[in-house]
Structure 1
Amino acid sequence: MGNVYAIANQKGGVGKTTTCVNLAASLAATKKRVLLIDLDPQGNATMGSGVDKNSQEFTIYDVLVGLTRCENALQKSPDGHYMVLPANGDLTAAEVEMLTLDNKEYRLKTALSSIRNSFDYILIDCPPSLNMLTVNALAACDGVIIPMQCEYYALEGVSALVNTINTIQNALNPNLRIEGVLRTMYDPRNSLTGDVSAELSHHFGDRVYRTCVPRNVRLAEAPSFGKPVLAYDKTSKGAMAYIALAGEIIRRNDTPTPTPELATAS
């Protein structure tokens, strides 16, 4: 059965979509079967994967409200070699419509049941807020990958997310865990970076990935070409970082450890 990870942080601008797209491409480059689910109405992960969000017959909206099955909405990323369940502005309406549907918190989990075994990894790009879409992602996934910048206010955002994860774990998904914390836009020359990294290690231990994603121009440019950075410039520092992250995630899955208690950030 495939590993399902939500890429989530309630703070915006921390690299969620960048991580989702480039981790999907990097896992696919290691011959893993990968699905990226765009659960953000902005559709940035869809466009960043080279899929036109405005020309789709079916999107994740249609899946969530029961108009079609996942299989009918899947598209292939032309340069990323993974599958995409696309999103566009229609998804905004799903938040309201799902409130009146049965099992509203489990719409995504139910929809994935028919295709989960077809993939090794399913990555969900979450919106930067706690809404019914994010709740569906957390109810459907095995673990949460938290991208974050090493800045003071980022710690507050992670603390809020940990509280949310604990709430979802207790109410909807008892197997939910923090899969890992990824430091993005990393600048080792900044003294605050070291302080925040130390704080993260104190709270999350080995859940903090050894891989750090640096600030990188090529990584920032790639989405405007509708490509993961691995297809845009595979020799860039950004591409190498996400390849390293994919390797780290694969190794963790090959050597499973007991599920840790959810950390409580202060």
Structure 2
Amino acid sequence: MAKTTSVASLGAAFAERGERVLLVDLDAQACLTFSLGVDPDTVETSVNEVLIGRASVADAVVSCAEGLDLVPSVIELAGAEAQLLSRPGREYVLRTALETVADDYDVVLLDCSPSLGVLTLNALTAANGLVIPMPCEMLSHRGVGQLLDTVTDVQRILNPDLRILGILPTMFDGRSNHAQAVLADVGERYELPVLSPPIPKTVRFAEAPAVGRSILSTSSSSKGASAYREVAAALLATRGEMRAG
């Protein structure tokens, strides 16, 4: 669904605009970590150690290209959920950990795993805003509905300040009638903002992780890079509105 691609690309777009950006990889597959040029097998301190209380966020931060800082992931993160289950206030572990570096960054982006487990609940509890990447394919609607049910519970019980910033249409093929129909339907179906422009489908996205950078660096003038820059600008404007409110 271009979830990790969106985190890396939006992070790079924010950094281009002078923001101090921290990315946090909360997926045991460590795709974001790899995409930013960090080999998970060489990581000594990761988000896993942060979540189980063996290290601070500052201990785990790795500086990457394009002016980005990263808290990397490792395969051992797959066992963190089991360790967190017995902890009091387990949903607040990430939020508490990130508070220690809140003054060091303007933007913190959390790359969640595809499942709605304890780690994703931690991310939703820590976050101010949620962006939902969704491929412009009809079957993708099913996952969005389940996620929104979880978000409602989080807002009611754990994080009343969590705001859904919008659905981000990804892998969009403007030549496809089906993709255009999905794009037209999604906002009305869920009564949510649809971030624009939609992120186009292009092979340039697949090429970027191979060199440990985002598409904004490897194909700066491409339509994909331009789309993420526009979405980043819109999200920064939303942040200003949230602060003003």
TM-score interval for Structure 1 and Structure 2 normalised by the shorter chain: over 0.9
TM-score by length of 2: 0.95
Aligned with 1:106 (options 92, 95, 98) = 92
Contact conserved, 1:51 with 1:226, CA < 8 A, in 2?
yes
Question: Deviation string for 1:69-116 (max 9, x for gaps)?
Answer: 111100011x22110000010101111111122211111001011111
In 2: Cα distance, 1:136 partner to 1:83 partner: 20
TM-score by length of 1: 0.88
Question: Deviation string for 1:225-264 (max 9, x for gaps)?
Answer: 21111121211222111111111111222344998xxxxx
Aligned with 2:16 (options 18, 26, 29) = 29
Q: Indicate how the Cα distance of structure 1 residues 256 and 93 shifts in structure 2: closer, same or farther if over 3 A, else same.
A: closer
Aligned with 2:175 (options 178, 186, 189) = 189
Contact conserved, 1:219 with 1:239, CA < 8 A, in 2?
no
Contact conserved, 2:34 with 2:212, CA < 8 A, in 1?
yes
SS of equivalent to 1:146: strand
Aligned 1:59-208 pairs, distance under 5 A:
59-77=46-64, 79-204=65-190, 207-208=193-194
Question: Deviation string for 1:112-166 (max 9, x for gaps)?
Answer: 1111121111000000011111111111111110000111111111111111111
SS of equivalent to 2:134: strand
- The percentage of counterpart residues that share the same residue type is 36
In 2: Cα distance, 1:88 partner to 1:207 partner: 34
1:206 deviates by 6.3
In 2: Cα distance, 1:183 partner to 1:80 partner: 24
In 2: Cα distance, 1:44 partner to 1:50 partner: 10
Q: Indicate how the Cα distance of structure 1 residues 203 and 177 shifts in structure 2: closer, same or farther if over 3 A, else same.
A: farther
- Quote the residue 1:8 is aligned against: none
Letter in 2 for 1:105: E
In 1: Cα distance, 2:209 partner to 2:113 partner: 17
- From the two aligned structures, give the one with the greater helix fraction: 2
- Tell me the number of residue pairs that the alignment of Structure 1 and Structure 2 aligns: 245
SS of equivalent to 1:179: strand
Question: Deviation string for 1:189-214 (max 9, x for gaps)?
Answer: 21122222222221455621122110
- Root-mean-square deviation (CA, aligned residues, Å) is 1.6
Runs of 4+, deviation exceeding 6 Å: none
- Quote the residue 1:15 is aligned against: 2
Unaligned runs of 5+ in 2: none
